[in-house]
Amino acid sequence: MSNMNFDPIPTFSNGSQLMVSTKHSGNDHFTCELFEANQGSQGRWDLRIVSNHLEASTCVAAQTIAYDYAKCLYPTSGVR
């Protein structure tokens, strides 16, 4: 079973956050997905997939691809 985590990148003016999720799928295979997260009712988060399956052979490489893609999608958001 693989593990998944969520890390916030920037917070937008409407209160939503851009988040990156990194997943290790085994044997030198990592994927990242970008989500826009909004605080929903009862403390739950509403997630909208922005991109998925940004793949690389290392975790850092997959995250770099995801961050670069986020910078292209949201050039004024403050993604570094």
In this predicted model, what pLDDT tens digit does every residue of 3-61 receive, in sequence order?
557 777 877 888 888 888 888 888 889 999 999 988 877 878 788 899 978 999 998 99
Q: What's residue 11's pLDDT?
A: 79
Q: From residue 12, give the alpha-carbon distance in Å to each of 3, 4, 7, 19, 41.
A: 27, 23, 15, 11, 19
Q: How confident is the model at residue 2 (pLDDT cuts 50, 70, 90)?
A: very low
46 part of a folded domain: yes
* Residue ranges making up the domain that contains 16: 4-73
Domain count, the chain: 1
Q: What's residue 80's pLDDT?
A: 58
Give the mean model confidence (pLDDT) for residues 59-70. 91
- Strand boundaries in the chain, DSSP class E: 4-11, 17-24, 30-39, 45-56
78 part of a folded domain: no
80 part of a folded domain: no
**What gap in Å lies between CA 36 and CA 15, rounded to an integer?**
10
